[in-house]
């Protein structure tokens, strides 16, 4: 039987946008020493807006660069794709067809468009493949960047900006008062990660992490003796959510993430994690 105090807390939690799927996860929440946050859609609003389109090839105009990119992004569900498709709509550009679309997990997308091989890809992918970041490249520290490569030639890049959620700073600060560390874990570039983590006063950040490396990062923290909660939304986050001591799926994300996690944050609000921990502490204090 579920003790009354737990049942009451679970109902209270629901009011705060927390869906407790696994009572152990709720019970364990009071032991959390580190919360690992994903960035996009949890600490940030998760809506990318195109801020710049830059051509690095005199034969390709800005509109052509985003037109080619949009052909690939119409097949992707990433928030970056949503931002690029919105911009193309605003510019009234017709999106061309794609063949052989492929998503490269945590790095970008590739496909054939009008007979040309197109990549829309992260700065990390360029480094890894020893493709030099071109002269004339500039982006703000708060901007996410994707490069557009056409038939192995650098065509240009698109910068996108997202906004930090108004609730995030308060949530991180409350965790700090409870002596709980907060770490940012993201596939985005280190400049953006450093900027978000600094703005919010987080303890550290881990950037340019590929989906299959997230699990390893959680394990490493656990080996240091941390009791780790992790938030995640993507299909790719499921193994790391399962490894975390408390896995927290954020609402609008994939069903697979929600199935793996013990807790679901219905409104993706970081303050609800603070509520979870405080409820957990209050509930089990009453029971002792
Ligand atoms: P996170 O979930 O932490 O935001 P992802 O693993 O989803 O990170 O993505 C990491 C990086 O891979 C993005 O910042 C971007 O550079 C690149 N990327 C992923 N998906 C796409 C896409 N559809 N189009 C362009 N770039 C993408
Ligand atoms: Mg993600």
Q: Report the number of distinct structural domains present in the chain.
A: 2
Residue 53 in this model has a pLDDT that exceeds 60: yes
Residues 71 and 39 in one domain: no
Residues 40 and 169 in one domain: yes
| Predicted local distance difference test score (pLDDT) of residue 5 | 60
Sheet holding 99-104, edge to edge: 49-55, 153-161, 144-150, 116-121, 108-113, 99-104
Q: How confident is the model at residue 200 (pLDDT cuts 50, 70, 90)?
A: very high
Residue 105 in this model has a pLDDT that exceeds 80: yes
Give the mutation target among 53, 78, 105, 161 for probing the ligand 1 site: most ligand atoms within 8 A of CB: 78
Sheet holding 263-265, edge to edge: 18-20, 263-265, 246-250, 228-232, 34-38, 181-185, 204-206
Q: Does this complex have an ipTM over 0.85?
A: yes
Ligand 1, atom nearest to 73 Cα: 23
- 232 CA from centroid of ligand 2 (Å): 7
92: number of Cβ within 10 Å = 7
Residues 75 and 103 in one domain: yes
Residues 111 and 251 in one domain: no
Q: Which residues line ligand 1 (CB under 6 A)?
A: 38-40, 73, 76, 78, 80-81, 106-109, 120, 122, 144, 146, 186-188, 211, 234
38 is catalytic: yes
Atom 8 of ligand 1, residue of closest alpha carbon: 187
Chosen domain end from 161, 196, 216? 161
- Whether residue 209 contacts residue 105, with contact meaning beta carbons closer than 8 Å, is answered with no
Residues 123 and 251 in one domain: no
- Find the range with the poorest average confidence among 5-14, 50-59, 184-193, 241-250: 5-14
Q: Is 82 exposed, middle or buried (0-12, 13-18, 19+ CB in 10 A)?
A: middle
Residues 169 and 282 in one domain: yes
Ligand 1, atom nearest to 192 Cα: 14
| Mean pLDDT value across residues 130-151 | 90
| Predicted local distance difference test score (pLDDT) of residue 172 | 97
Residues 100 and 192 in one domain: no
- Find the range with the poorest average confidence among 4-13, 87-96, 102-111, 157-166: 4-13
Distance from chain centroid for Cα 213: 14
- 83 CA from centroid of ligand 2 (Å): 15
Residue 127 in this model has a pLDDT that exceeds 80: yes
Residues 243 and 208 in one domain: yes
| Mean pLDDT value across residues 163-174 | 96
- 4 CA from centroid of ligand 2 (Å): 37
| Predicted local distance difference test score (pLDDT) of residue 62 | 97
Residues 221 and 258 in one domain: yes
272 phi, psi to nearest 5 deg: -70, -25
Chosen domain end from 161, 196, 220? 161
Residue 1 in this model has a pLDDT that exceeds 70: no
Contacts of 177 by beta carbon, 8 Å cutoff, 6+ apart = none
Q: What is the pLDDT of residues 55-72, one digit of tens each?
A: 999 999 999 999 999 999
Ligand 1, atom nearest to 145 Cα: 16
Report the C-alpha gap between 135 and 138 in whole angstroms.
9
| Predicted local distance difference test score (pLDDT) of residue 257 | 67
Percent of the residues in the chain that have a pLDDT greater than 90, as a whole number: 66
pTM: 0.90
| Mean pLDDT value across residues 119-132 | 92
CATH number at residue 91: 3.40.1110.10
Percent of the residues in the chain that have a pLDDT greater than 70, as a whole number: 93
Residues 170 and 272 in one domain: yes
Atom 15 of ligand 1, residue of closest alpha carbon: 122
Q: How confident is the model at residue 8 (pLDDT cuts 50, 70, 90)?
A: low
Residues 62 and 135 in one domain: yes
90: number of Cβ within 10 Å = 10
Q: What is the pLDDT of residues 223-281, one digit of tens each?
A: 999 999 999 876 778 889 999 999 998 876 567 667 778 888 888 889 988 888 888 88
Residues near ion ligand 2 (CB < 5 Å) are: 234
Average model confidence (pLDDT) for the chain?
Answer: 90
Distance from chain centroid for Cα 217: 15
Chosen domain end from 146, 161, 176? 161
Parent domain of 142: 49-161
Higher pLDDT residue, 196 or 262? Answer: 196
CATH number at residue 172: 3.40.50.1000
Q: Single out the catalytic residue among 38, 162, 188, 237.
A: 38
- 123 CA from centroid of ligand 1 (Å): 10
Residues 108 and 243 in one domain: no
């Amino acid at each position: 039987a579920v003790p009354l105090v737990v049942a009451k807390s679970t109902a209270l939690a629901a009011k705060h946008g927390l869906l407790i799927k696994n009572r152990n996860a709720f019970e364990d929440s009071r032991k959390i020493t580190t919360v690992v946050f994903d960035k996009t859609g949890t600490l940030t609003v998760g809506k990318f807006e195109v801020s710049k389109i830059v051509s690095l090839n005199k034969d390709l105009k800005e509109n052509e660069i985003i037109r080619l990119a949009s052909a690939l992004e119409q097949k992707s569900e990433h928030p970056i794709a949503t931002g690029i498709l919105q911009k193309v709509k605003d510019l009234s550009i017709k999106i061309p067809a794609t063949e052989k679309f492929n998503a490269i997990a945590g790095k970008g997308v590739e496909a054939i468009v009008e007979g040309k091989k197109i990549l829309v890809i992260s700065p990390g992918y360029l480094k890894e493949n020893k493709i030099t970041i071109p002269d004339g490249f500039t982006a703000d520290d708060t901007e996410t960047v994707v490069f557009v490569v056409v038939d192995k030639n650098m065509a240009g890049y698109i910068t996108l900006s997202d906004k930090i959620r108004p609730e995030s700073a308060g949530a991180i600060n409350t965790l700090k008062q409870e002596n709980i560390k907060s770490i940012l874990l993201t596939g985005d570039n280190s400049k953006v990660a450093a900027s978000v983590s600094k703005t919010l006063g987080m303890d550290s950040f881990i950037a340019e992490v590929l989906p299959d490396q997230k699990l390893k990062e959680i394990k490493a923290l656990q080996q240091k003796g941390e009791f780790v909660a992790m938030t995640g939304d993507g299909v790719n986050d499921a193994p790391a959510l399962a490894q975390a001591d408390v896995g927290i799926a954020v609402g609008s994300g994939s069903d697979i993430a929600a199935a793996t996690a013990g807790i679901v944050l219905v409104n993706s609000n970081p303050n609800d994690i603070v509520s979870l921990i405080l409820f957990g502490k209050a509930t089990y204090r009453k029971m002792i």
